[in-house]
Chains A and B, each alone.
Chain A
Amino acid sequence: MTSRASWKEMGLAYLMIFPALFFFVLYLVYPLLKSLRMSLYDYSGIGSLTDFVGLDNYAEALADKQFYNAMANNFALMAIELAVSLTVAFVLAYFLYRGVFGWKFFNVVLFLPYIIPLSVSAIIWTSIYEPNIGLLNTFLDKIGLDSWKRVWLGSTDTSLYSVIAVWIWRTIPFNMLILLGAMLKIPKEMIEAARIDGCSGFRIVRYLILPLTAPTIGLLFILSVAYDFRAFDMVWVMTQGGPADSTQIASTLVYKLGFSQNEYGYANAIAFLVFAFVAAVASALMLVAKGVNAGLNRKRGTKL
């Protein structure tokens, strides 16, 4: 690394990474530090930071019911999404893998919910959930299930689940695409051999496809943790966290505390606690995934 040629190379390298680094620092590294600093102050958004309060904001947040409520809702969003969306996506991917009529058509249509902007989906579903003239209640009326009618987004009993349902609707296509990709990578001969040995469809799924797609499922788990704590558009457009905070999640709480209540220092402290939580869960999952993969590879004696 000391010859003149490599110094020249290094200069060139820095020149090439500079633009990317500039934006990365300006809009990611610097905001992170700024946010961390702000979280140590009482700050109403005007002027410079003067009112240093140390870790008071964090202490306050850890004693705040709002914070736990938002984390619990966000966790429910993630857990239910993972359970339902991954299961359905796995089944759909497997069916597509086995072969259906109109494969091409389904491949396009099943993916639509993912491609529509989330805020537009949120608007569409708001009108579907609308209590008086919305599609859902009108439909229930029509098939004689009036007693099932609810004020879906407007009552605290159903609001969170109604929002989560849209999130599931939206995440299935993505999970399906990734799982199908993983299934298509399984060598066809393996499945054929199992079938010739008399394995039933269910046993092929249980003992071949599921273990072989396990690393992908692990990856989707980790991605979901990252994405579900970024969910903002959908909740903000549908309910703004209401009614009575029943759909408040991490991002909407931070937005509300910051932009509507001007408690920027406090809002940033909460944001950092969310960050710590997400980082902890994600790294724990990654360690588990690593362990599982290592275990699988040992058992199989090969590395996939």
Chain B
Amino acid sequence: MIKKTALTAFVLLFAVTSLYPLIWVLMQSLKSDAEFFANQFAPPADFLWNNYGKAWTEANFGLYYKNTLIVTLFGVALGVLVCVLAGYAFARYRFYGKKLLTFAFVGVLFVPIPVLLLPVYFINRDLDLLNTYAGMIGPYICGIVPLGVLLMQGAFASLPGEIAESARMDGSGEWRTFGQIMLPLTTPTIATVCILQFITVWTDYMWPLIANTNPGMYTLTIGITTMAAQKFVLGYGPVFAGMVISFSFIILVYILLQKYFMRALSDGAVKG
């Protein structure tokens, strides 16, 4: 019992380092600037909810949330769709080039971002995709392909062959076997791929920064950095409120789906 208490105390110490920065931001987000300068460690004397209203309108968070939602929605839906299709083909059919592609998918894990940074910008520019949702979403679909296909391949391959075989005997066509029989059996892996892609797209900063020159296309992650640069104009309180606005949604999603997040991240690391 004493030992367990000691272990808990140690872990608590670390929990403070991960949690306190967020609590600190939360406290300042409800203060006036005068109060923030005077004392950072006390909870706000009276809660200035207006900071949130000001942050939301002045910094255009409505727009940033809209852009982020659109890009995430399509990035996840289309990314997962192409992975499921290809994963099924990889697991079930023989075709030329399968080995080569598998090798390529494993190899690209080590392509460092700097190599893709400039050419992807040029490709989007040449295709006239700068400042468009399509231009932002495309690279994300590509981003999940290697890991997503490998995960889905593993999921389909682990299903017993007899299931598909008996479906065929019953006269089910290839597409029906895939869509109505095999697909539902892989929902856990599909959820994993969805979550991995959701985290990547929602939290990304670099692609939206490169793919857009028009602030009207910025996502949350860029919006908050643009806003933070204006803290002397807007005041500290609203900027802190903006930070809370920009991390609260994903934390909420994470807490609701915590079990699935954990499984997705460990599967993504271990199987990838």
Contacts and interface: CB of A to CB of B under 8 A. Distances in A.
Are both chains from one complex? Answer: yes
Interface of A: 1, 6, 9-10, 12-14, 16-17, 19-21, 23-24, 26-32, 34-35, 38, 45, 88, 91-92, 95-96, 98-102, 105-113, 115-120, 122-128, 133, 135, 138-139, 142, 169, 172-174, 177-178, 181, 216, 219-220, 223, 225-226, 229-230, 232-233, 236-237, 250-251, 253-255, 258-259, 264, 267-268, 270-272, 274-275, 278-279, 282
B22 interface: yes
Contacts of A9: 93-95, 174
B94 A178 contact: no
A24 B146 contact: yes
B12 to A, nearest CB: 8
B233 interface: no
A237 B117 contact: no
Contacts of B206: 232-233, 236
Contacts of B143: 27
B117 A181 contact: no
Interface string B1-45: 000110110111011011101101100000000001100110000
B116 A31 contact: yes
B108 interface: yes
Given A117-B221, A122-B225, A178-B265, 18 more contacts: A16-B85, A16-B93, A19-B86, A29-B104, A95-B7, A107-B258, A110-B18, A112-B18, A117-B202, A117-B246, A119-B222, A124-B22, A174-B269, A178-B269, A250-B114, A258-B117, A268-B119, A278-B110
Contacts of A95: 7, 10-11
Contact of B247 (A10, A13, A120, A230): A120
B230 to A, nearest CB: 12
A64 to B, nearest CB: 15
Interface stretch (B47-55, B157-165, B248-256): B248-256
* Chain B binding surface SS class: helix
A3 to B, nearest CB: 12
A38 B119 contact: yes
16 contacts: A12-B93, A13-B92, A16-B89, A23-B138, A27-B139, A27-B143, A31-B116, A100-B11, A106-B12, A109-B18, A117-B204, A133-B40, A135-B40, A229-B112, A251-B114, A259-B210
A99 B114 CA distance: 42
Contacts of A127: 25, 228, 240
B111 A28 contact: yes
B185 interface: no
B76 interface: no
Contacts of A275: 110-112, 114-115
Contacts of A128: 21, 24
B94 A10 contact: yes
A177 B268 CA distance: 12
Contacts of A271: 112, 114-115, 117-118
A101 B8 contact: yes
A115 B254 contact: yes
B139 to A, nearest CB: 5
Contacts of B111: 28, 32, 275
Given A26-B138, A35-B119, A230-B113, A119 B205 contact: yes
B217 interface: no
Given A117-B221, A119-B221, A264-B118, A20 B83 contact: yes
B142 interface: yes
A20 B18 contact: no
A117 to B, nearest CB: 4
A119 B7 contact: no
B149 interface: yes
A26 B120 CA distance: 9
A226 B110 contact: yes
Contacts of B119: 30-32, 34-35, 38, 268
Contact of B205 (A117, A138, A274): A117
Contacts of B15: 105-106, 109-110
